[in-house]
């Protein structure tokens, strides 16, 4: 097979998330989320003081979204459900029928157009009333998440065959880590992150086991968590620096993946050792990393049908005291390498080979599971002639193909972040990731294809990277 061809049946899709595109933040019975609360009370934490109140207005314009997905030719659409739109208080005793109706319309519209719905249950917009109970630091949220999952399987599971429980648990933990402004913006660095991740992992497993027990046989869907898996490369090569980088990989990526996907289960041994050691050094009487009971290790281990990763960039590391890293207690500092270009988002350095390395690391660590790239994308400051984005995609896809053909990684699909420009969290509308431009000054939020959308049409249609994109970039 040509080095530039994708395997038969390879799936291409595009992604968004509820808070970033839906708008209609308080319409038709929707409850308040932690992002609603944050942007309304602290607009100062958002770069351009904007909000997702209207965003792309997909709540009203979802048919436009379906149309542009179809225009490109995507096989699937990855979108998320807003928990407070479905359960306004977070609890399953009150279901907002308008929310169910909205998602039914979206799902049915996609299917009618030959596009598979790939559904994320939680993409960061926690119902505020659950935050008032402690948010993800409260282990009881696992009960509420299971109840929410039951509502979703019951209402949508007949048509949804691809489920993601959580998008990027590490980013959820960010809202409790260093004061970066992510909701709920409760900086409890060194404690909060560990508690949050613990509850999220247990919640994931509870939803997975519920599905397995009561729904899977009839609904026949597949489920995964979505882990952010950027690559981590030592800045200089020595045995010590390589060991430190590997520790960082385990503590950043293995933190989420090891409990679910390793044969042993539980947190990575090096992480348990390191957090315990650092906790002792600081005079704590116990490790700040919570422990799973034996039963919990078993419940979490193996709670997967495939492995979904978001990948954007590579960090270059050196040993050093914590502070620069969002994962506490690792003693590895993350930097960038000036040799690589940076997107509009300061953290997004373009390092295509990092994707290949990350895929290989996952295959080796977790015995070659089927991998779905659930997000990959590039930000700029606007413009329809987005050649830098096109270069990004072509170069990352080439590395993905090397991972498939040369390294035999089992990659089943690829998801573009994002279908269209949207509310980019604390960057507001300043960093644009879309294949489609959205006019945020137009009440109709007109969507217009960028050049990159056309390139994707061609890639999907031919199931390969066409030669013209490889040799003659200026012709794009």
Question: Active-site positions?
Answer: 168, 375
Separation between Cα atoms, residue 33 and residue 49, nearest integer Å: 18
CB of 262 to ligand BGC, least distance (A): 23
CB-CB neighbours of 236 under 10 Å: 10
CB of 377 to ligand BGC, least distance (A): 7
CB of 429 to ligand BGC, least distance (A): 12
Q: What does R_g of the chain's alpha carbons equal in angstroms? A: 21
- In the bound state with ligand BGC, the residue whose beta carbon lies nearer, of 119 and 289, is 119
- In the bound state with ligand BGC, the residue whose beta carbon lies nearer, of 120 and 319, is 120
Separation between Cα atoms, residue 21 and residue 153, nearest integer Å: 23
The secondary structure element, H or E, covering residue 266 is none
Grouping H, G, I as helix, E, B as strand and the rest as coil, residue 414 is: strand
Tokens in use for 311?
Answer: 């990948």
Tokens in use for 461?
Answer: 């249609």
Residue recorded with tokens 């508690």: 195
- In the bound state with ligand BGC, the residue whose beta carbon lies nearer, of 17 and 452, is 17
Separation between Cα atoms, residue 144 and residue 92, nearest integer Å: 8
CB of 363 to ligand BGC, least distance (A): 22
- In the bound state with ligand BGC, the residue whose beta carbon lies nearer, of 228 and 465, is 228
Separation between Cα atoms, residue 426 and residue 44, nearest integer Å: 9
**Interaction site with ligand BGC (CB under 6 A):** 17, 20, 167-168, 171, 228, 310, 375, 417, 424, 433
36 within 8 A of 83, measured Cβ to Cβ: no
- In the bound state with ligand BGC, the residue whose beta carbon lies nearer, of 274 and 429, is 429
Cβ neighbours of residue 196 closer than 8 Å, sequence gap 6 or more: 135, 136, 137, 169, 172, 173, 175, 176
CB of 425 to ligand BGC, least distance (A): 6
């Amino acid at each position: 097979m040509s080095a530039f061809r994708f395997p038969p049946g390879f799936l291409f899709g595009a992604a968004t998330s509820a808070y970033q595109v839906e708008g209609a933040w308080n319409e038709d019975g929707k409850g308040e989320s932690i992002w609603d609360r944050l942007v309304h009370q602290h607009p100062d934490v958002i770069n351009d003081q904007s909000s997702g109140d209207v965003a792309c207005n997909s709540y009203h314009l979802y048919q436009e979204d379906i149309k542009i997905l179809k225009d490109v030719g995507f096989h699937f659409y990855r979108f998320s459900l807003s928990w407070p739109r479905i359960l306004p208080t977070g609890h399953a005793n009150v279901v907002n029928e308008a929310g169910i109706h909205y998602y039914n319309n979206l799902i049915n519209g996609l299917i009618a157009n030959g596009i598979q719905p790939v559904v994320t249950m939680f993409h960061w917009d926690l119902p505020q009333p659950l935050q008032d109970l402690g948010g993800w630091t409260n282990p009881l949220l696992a009960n509420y998440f299971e109840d929410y999952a039951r509502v979703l399987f019951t209402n949508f599971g007949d048509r949804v065959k691809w489920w993601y429980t959580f998008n990027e648990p590490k980013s959820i933990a960010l809202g409790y880590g260093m004061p970066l402004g992510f909701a709920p913006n409760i900086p409890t660095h060194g404690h909060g992150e560990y508690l949050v991740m613990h509850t999220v992992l247990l919640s994931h497993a509870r939803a997975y086991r519920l599905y397995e027990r009561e729904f899977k046989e009839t609904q026949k869907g597949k489920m995964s968590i979505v882990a952010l898996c950027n690559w981590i490369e030592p800045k200089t090569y020595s045995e010590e620096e390589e060991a430190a980088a590997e520790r960082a990989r385990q503590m950043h990526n293995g933190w989420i993946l090891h409990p679910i996907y390793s044969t042993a289960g539980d947190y990575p041994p090096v992480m348990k050792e390191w957090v315990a050691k650092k906790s002792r050094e600081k005079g704590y009487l116990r490790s700040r990393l919570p422990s799973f009971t034996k039963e919990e290790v078993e419940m979490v281990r193996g709670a997967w049908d495939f492995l979904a990763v978001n990948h954007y960039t590579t960090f270059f590391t050196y040993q050093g005291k914590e502070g620069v890293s969002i994962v506490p207690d690792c003693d590895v500092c993350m930097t960038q390498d000036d040799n690589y270009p940076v997107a509009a988002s300061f953290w997004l350095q373009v390092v295509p080979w990092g994707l290949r390395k990350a895929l290989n690391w996952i295959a080796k660590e977790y015995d070659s599971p089927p991998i779905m790239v659930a997000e990959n994308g590039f930000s700029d400051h606007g413009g329809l002639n987005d050649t830098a984005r096109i270069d990004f995609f072509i170069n990352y896809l080439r590395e993905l193909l090397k991972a498939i053909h040369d390294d035999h990684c089992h990659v089943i699909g690829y998801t573009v972040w994002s279908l269209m420009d949207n509310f980019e969290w604390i960057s507001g509308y300043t960093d644009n990731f879309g294949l489609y431009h959205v006019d945020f000054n137009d009440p109709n939020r007109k969507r217009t294809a960028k050049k990159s959308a056309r390139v994707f049409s061609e890639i999907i249609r031919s199931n390969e990277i066409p030669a013209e994109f490889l040799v003659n970039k200026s012709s794009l």
